[in-house]
Structures are given as structure tokens and as C-alpha cells.
């Protein structure tokens, strides 16, 4: 059941581009850790999370539901939802770190969006958390952050700090010269050009899954970024075609295809589908008439950018760069 007042936002409150920016984090702040998607029960894994976040100079408060099994589906939903609401309501908590997996979309019509709007704070996650990013942005206009405060690489740490600790614009970003795996992730200009617009996007599977709901993505006039993991080329083609048929590419200003980890290569085909992932991207993106860049380190990769949703950025598909022109925090 939707909490009272969950969708009671006025047209004026949702005025286009009326972004709400959370306060930047500072060392010593407390952040909440929640699992709104797949629960984490493994104590060995849980033992790694707190030190990882603390390495940014932050204190960590673990959600009450984290690491606990519930007896039935409704209790599971309630536990995940309560953790989300509690962290936004708690004045001690200055930011929220959310892990992905599966199931965040189950919460969307139960969230108290007025509570979130009244208590703006850093909210960061990626993958399945895309469902929450899209819903929170659409219902509150709060700037949220696609990324994760992990210690997988110096590149990832640096970009987390620039996005949520510093009140200056992030500025120019691109792939690292040498990745943490030893080889630079390849950037490819699919269609030349340069464009400036607000950033919007996330995980392709979740973007497709929220279509025709009140929380579906708004892409008109945006630089649309997309990433995914473990999807074969024909499934990527199906989801991208779905978005194309729904008009989600009709008025974009640019497209950034991030990393699609374990999404097939030159020799992978399925169900008679003969196109590689690169060909899928070219087939669907080249006709758009806007700048398109492929291979940026967004998503399921150890070298990961942190991107604020809704802020202005400039895509230069020829140089292989994004320039974040305004801060996502105050």
C-alpha cells in the first residue's frame, strides 16, 4: 500500500528543471547503508562494506533490515522500505548508500516521496538502484548519483569524491589511461558531434522495466546514458528497440553507451541473432542524428564514474569526454 501523501506533489513542485541538490558530504559525516534490492545475508560480505565506506572518512549506520531474513514477501518489502524511509528521515544521516541486485522496483509505489523531498540528501547506487533513481528524480527532482563509494580503484574513489564531497562542478571526465585491469576500456565514436544537456540514464534493463509506469524515464532534451551487465546482444537489441518504439530516443541531445560487462563479443550469437553488441549499438544509434559515444566507464566495471542525474553536461563524442558543468551538491 502506498504511504499517505506518497504522490501528493503539486505541479509547481515538479516544475521542469527545478532540481533539489543535497548537501555535500564532509569527512566525519554519517551515511546510511541499505539493501533495497537483493538482501545481503553473507556475514563475510557484510564485513567488507563498512570498512570500504569508512575509507572515505565517513561513519556508517547499517539499516535494520540489512543482513536479516524475513519470513514472507510482505515482511521483506516492509523491511527494505522501512530502511529507506528511516535513512531519509534520520537527521544524523547525511547520505545513503544503496546496493543493487534485484527487487528495487517492487518498492516504487510504496515510497513516501514527500518524505524524501523534505529531507534531501546524497543517495548513491547503480544497477538495480536505477529504478529508485528514476522514481525519486521524477517524483521529487532530487539529484541522485549513479555510482558507488567503493575502493575498487583509485579512479573510482576519485570520481566518487569529486561528485559527492566537492561543491565545484566535476568538470571533464573520460576513461582512465590505464584501467585497473591493465588495459584501457575502449571508447568509440559511434556518431560525431558535441551537445550540452542534463544527464539522465542508468541500467538498461531497469529503464526498460519501468516503461509505461508512473516512474518511466524522461529523456527529452537529455544526454541519455545507458549501461548493463550479462545481457546477450539480442536482449540488448530488444530493450533498445522497445525504448526506440516508445519514443525515448526521439528528442535526446546525445547518447552515452557505458560498459556492458559480460554482454557478448564478436563470436557470440543467440537464437539466430547474428549481430554483435557493437553492431546493435551502431544499428540503433547512428540514425539518431545526435552525438553518440560508446564504451565509457559507467556501470559494472571496477573503474567507475559517479554521475549526478539531472545536472547539465557536455558530451563530445569525438574527444570521448563528458564535461559535468554544474555540481550535483551544494
Active site (catalytic) residues: 127, 227, 300
d(CA 78, CA 30): 24
> Phi/psi of residue 321, each to 5°?
-135, 155
CA atoms within 13 A on the CB side of 33: 22
CA atoms within 13 A on the CB side of 296: 30
> Phi/psi of residue 310, each to 5°?
100, -15
268 and 232 Cβ atoms separated by less than 8 Å = yes
Cα angle for residues 151, 256, 202 (degrees, 5° grid) = 60
Cα angle for residues 125, 129, 130 (degrees, 5° grid) = 105
The closest of 279, 185, 201, 294 to 236, measured between CA atoms, is 279
Amino acid at each position: 500500500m502506498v504511504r499517505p501523501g506518497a504522490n501528493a506533489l503539486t505541479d509547481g513542485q515538479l516544475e521542469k528543471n527545478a532540481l533539489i541538490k543535497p548537501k555535500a558530504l564532509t569527512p566525519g559525516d554519517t551515511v546510511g547503508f541499505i539493501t533495497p534490492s537483493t538482501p545481503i545475508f553473507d556475514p563475510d560480505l557484510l564485513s567488507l562494506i563498512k570498512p570500504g565506506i569508512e575509507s572515505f572518512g565517513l561513519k556508517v549506520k547499517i539499516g535494520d533490515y540489512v543482513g536479516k531474513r524475513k519470513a514472507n514477501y510482505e515482511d521483506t518489502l516492509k523491511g527494505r522500505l522501512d530502511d529507506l524511509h528511516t535513512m531519509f528521515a534520520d537527521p544524523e544521516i547525511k547520505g545513503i548508500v544503496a546496493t543493487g541486485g534485484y527487487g528495487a522496483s517492487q518498492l516504487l509505489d510504496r515510497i513516501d516521496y514527500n518524505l524524501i523531498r523534505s529531507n534531501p540528501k546524497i543517495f548513491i547506487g547503480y544497477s538495480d538502484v536505477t529504478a529508485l533513481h528514476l522514481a525519486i528524480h521524477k517524483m521529487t527532482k532530487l539529484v541522485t548519483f549513479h555510482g558507488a563509494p567503493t575502493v575498487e580503484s583509485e579512479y573510482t574513489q576519485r570520481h566518487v569524491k569529486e561528485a559527492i564531497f566537492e561543491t565545484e562542478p566535476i568538470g571533464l571526465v573520460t576513461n582512465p589511461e590505464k584501467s585497473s585491469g591493465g588495459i584501457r576500456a575502449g571508447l568509440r565514436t559511434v556518431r560525431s558531434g558535441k551537445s550540452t544537456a542534463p544527464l539522465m540514464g542508468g541500467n538498461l534493463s531497469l529503464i526498460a522495466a519501468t516503461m509505461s509506469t508512473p516512474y518511466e524515464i524522461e529523456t527529452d532534451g537529455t544526454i541519455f546514458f545507458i549501461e548493463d551487465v550479462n545481457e546477450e546482444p539480442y536482449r540488448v537489441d530488444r530493450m533498445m528497440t522497445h525504448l526506440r518504439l516508445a519514443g525515448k530516443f526521439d528528442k535526446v541531445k546525445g547518447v552515452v553507451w557505458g560498459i556492458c560487462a559480460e554482454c557478448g563479443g564478436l563470436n557470440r550469437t543467440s537464437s539466430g541473432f547474428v549481430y554483435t553488441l557493437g553492431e546493435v549499438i551502431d544499428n540503433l544509434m547512428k540514425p539518431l542524428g545526435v552525438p553518440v559515444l560508446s564504451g565509457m566507464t559507467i556501470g559494472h566495471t571496477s573503474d567507475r564514474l559517479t554521475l549526478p542525474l539531472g545536472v547539465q553536461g557536455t558530451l563530445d563524442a569525438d574527444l570521448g569526454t563528458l564535461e559535468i558543468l554544474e555540481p550535483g551538491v551544494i
